Amino acid sequence: MPAEEEIRKLEEEIAGTEYNKATQKHIGMLKAKLAKLKTQTEERRSKGKRAGPSYSVKKSGDATALLVGFPSVGKSTLLNKLTDAKSKVGAYDFTTLDVIPGVMEYNKTRIQILDIPGIIEGAAGGKGLGRKVFSVVRNADLIIILLDAMNPEQQMKIILSELYNAGFRLNQRQPEIKISKKKTGGLNIVSSLPLTKMDAETIRNILNEFGIFNADVAVGGDITPDQLIDSLAKNRVYVPAITAINKIDMVGMERLNGICRNMDAAVLISALNDSNLDKLREVIWGKLNFIRVYMKKRGREADMENPVIVKSGSNAEDVCLKIHKDFAKKFKSAKVWGSSKFPGQKVGLDYALKDGDVVELC
């Protein structure tokens, strides 16, 4: 049976099987077979000859965010308003047939935003420009899902499905699963919490489907069969995402109130009229989880104009590496003003920094 036909049959069987205690193991096995088959199919495609040029954009700035949405939802207009880009704008589908980069400057950070071709239903399976578009999405630090205010719920359903089927896990933490293969001894499964979403037999069956018969398996939490399969598939991308609903100037108040009830986490905007774009900039910056660290040289005032931008939870060593890869070798400690117990406290390079800290390397 051709791989595409087998994939279709497995998807139909999964969709047609009611999930309950009795079918839990069976569905887990079907999903494992499906994930393995899709992974093998993608690997064969990647080794084959590419049809036409692929998209390639050099990352720049402190982070890269992607505008993802249907054709003609206003991605190009929004990109032009948020950044220094000059993306072509038109009131018809597929205006953007390439990846258009721009840079948004906000809170002392430079955020690269990419306008990519519109996603359509079936993109994950290669329809339209799907595979090329998703190859760019894999390198993103943030996905901005842009929807049309006239039909956001349906668009959101399709986009989430396409991203999920292409291997993207939005706003999810990667499951803590460590698999140490061995030559003999079978499967030794240890979990930090009681497993309530699947039993040890289901774990064994899924691992066996992926060709793992002898291994020490450490599970950090009460995971689901889907999370275990994701960890084995190796082509999953865990990335934060936000949602913006555009063209709010084209719908009435009753429709807007309905959108707010159904999609309360979305930012309502009008890119054409500049409505609520400052709020969107704030949400983008906040979701990227940045902190600003200001550097100080010994005997001088801190440079409060040009902070080093790092992720929340970064330490003094991370700041050294951001400045120059050899800095961590040169400096052994730091002095910190801001979050430390007292101004100028001497700390090790493993000291966790906070937004607004002033750091002097020693």
Q: What residues of the chain score a pLDDT lower than 70? A: 1, 45-58, 86-97, 120-137
User: Cα(235)–Cα(200) distance, rounded to whole angstroms?
Assistant: 24
Domains of the chain: 3-49+175-233 (no CATH), 63-172+237-287 (3.40.50.300), 291-361 (3.10.20.30)
pLDDT, one tens digit per residue, over 190-234 is 998 888 888 888 999 999 999 999 999 999 889 999 999 999 987
Angle, alpha carbons 124-28-158 (nearest 5°): 25
Hey, is 193 helix, strand or coil? Answer: coil
Q: Write out the two tokens for 343.
A: 């101004």
The per-residue pLDDT for 230 is 92
- CA 349, CA 319: separation in Å to the nearest integer? 9
The pLDDT score that the predictor gives to residue 130 is 47
- Residue-wise pLDDT for 169-189, tens only, equals 999 999 899 999 999 999 999
SS3 305: coil
CA distances from 98 to 162, 246, 254 (A): 20, 21, 37
Identify the pLDDT of residue 116: 80
